[in-house]
Amino acid sequence: MAACIGLTFTHQHNMSPEKYLRYLVPFSLFGTERTKQILQATPTDDVVRKDADKTQITVYHYDSTHLESTELQKVEESFPFRDQPQVSWINVDGLCKPDVEKAGAHYGIHPLIIEDILSMGQRPKMDEVEGILYCLLNMLYFNSKTNSVEQEQISIVLGQNYVITFQEDPSRDVFDPIREKLKINNSKLRQRGADYLCYTMLDLIVDNYFFVMEKLGACIESAEEEVIRNSNTRSLARINFLRKELIVLKRNIAPVRDLIGGIIRSESELLDDRTTKYFKDVYDHIIQAYDLSENYRDIMISMQDLYINNVNLKMNEVMKVMAIVTCLLAPATVIGGVFGMNFDVIPTAHNTWGFYTAVGAMLLIPVWMLVMFKRRGWF
């Protein structure tokens, strides 16, 4: 009957031992899901991007005095903006392979660049092919709920009087300041060409890196305080998690140095000499961001060493207490062993005060040992 009750209870609550026992294992704190996400994309993998359910196309067509903002239904509606004398920013949110291929065919984008736009997990880079300057990098976001760094690949195509941006997620980007500046008549952005618009985009992406690093730095500071106050397995899991986030951060920041440096060294006719100094400013910012990421990495290494030292210190404290207790019990063990020997004649064994003398020695000797240990500074 008990077996039947047990079976009924298990059936009603659908209890599986693995579901609950995994919370009792300390190593469950060290999940590998994040590691798989970081290392899942390699150049040799044939990754097929799933087409977006919905594609949003927005065009900002402007000069110093006029601005026209239009939302398009089809990518073909953006084709007339190619040969306009004004500057056009064509923003494509949500990647769909047919639309990207159509836009690439019309604007003269090389098939290799189209392949990079549709790829996933690419290393940030800059290419200059057939009169097109192409930049691929990631926009970074900080998820406050999971305290993790999220990335979104963006492709920027700079042509003559136009900039095309291809984004994965239509719900977010870092280009809102550009949209606000475009609404201001005679602003510097409205007076300059498409290369200045490209600079502004790269500058905003790099500046957002500092915002993400600031949030991640606050998590690192909190983890450091936790390690100092109470080093346990959960602290080690948190250190391991933050080190993975730093890997994501560094993998995205380091290649951008080469990207900006390639633009500065480029002799493309698409880049005005006046804009080069602005790209140099972005290069200074990305160098600073890279140095800051290296500092965070050094802090994490020091934090891991601090955790190991704290664990060893706790172990030494435990071993010291156990050694002292063992030393204090040694006299009582020796005295008790002597009086427990199987001899007929043991001095003071049959004396009226023999028991009290032995107990007194068992108490006085450890007290004397404690005094000597304290004087020598052993505890």
- Per the CB < 8 A criterion, the answer to whether 209 and 253 are in contact is yes
Is 227 exposed, middle or buried (CB count within 10 Å of its CB: 0-12, 13-18, 19+)? buried
Model pLDDT, residue 259: 95
What is the C-alpha to C-alpha distance for residues 93 and 323, in angstroms, rounded to an integer?
A: 68
Q: Where are the alpha helices (DSSP H) in the chain?
A: 2-13, 17-21, 33-39, 97-107, 111-118, 176-182, 188-191, 194-229, 233-265, 273-339, 354-375
pLDDT digit string (tens) for 176-188?
Answer: 999 999 998 888 9
pLDDT digit string (tens) for 303-319?
Answer: 888 888 888 888 888 88
Query: How is residue 344 written in tokens?
Result: 């007929």
Model pLDDT, residue 31: 59
Where along the chain do the CATH 1.20.58 domains lie? Answer: 322-375
Model pLDDT, residue 20: 39
- Per the CB < 8 A criterion, the answer to whether 249 and 325 are in contact is no
What is this structure's pTM? 0.77
Model pLDDT, residue 360: 87
Residue 218, Ramachandran bin (φ over 0: left; ψ between -120 and 50: alpha; else beta): alpha
Bridge partners, 153 (sequence order) = 138
pLDDT digit string (tens) for 127-143?
Answer: 998 889 999 999 999 99
Alpha carbon of residue 300 to chain centroid: 12
| Topology (CATH level 3) of domain 322-375 | Methane Monooxygenase Hydroxylase; Chain G, domain 1 (1.20.58)
Alpha carbon of residue 279 to chain centroid: 27
Q: Which CATH superfamily is 47-311 part of?
A: CorA soluble domain-like (3.30.460.20)
How would DSSP label each residue in 242-267? HHHHHHHHHHHHHHHHHHHHHHHH--
Q: Which residues of the chain have pLDDT under 70?
A: 1-48
Bridge partners, 135 (sequence order) = 126, 156
Where along the chain do the CATH 3.30.460.20 domains lie? Answer: 47-311
Work out the angle at residue 221's Cα, subtended by the Cα atoms of residues 219 and 227, and round it to the nearest 5 degrees. 100
Give backbone dihedrals phi and psi of 243, rounded to 5 degrees, phi first.
-65, -35
Model pLDDT, residue 71: 92
Model pLDDT, residue 317: 84
Residue type for position 157: V
Pairing of strands 132-143, 162-167: unpaired
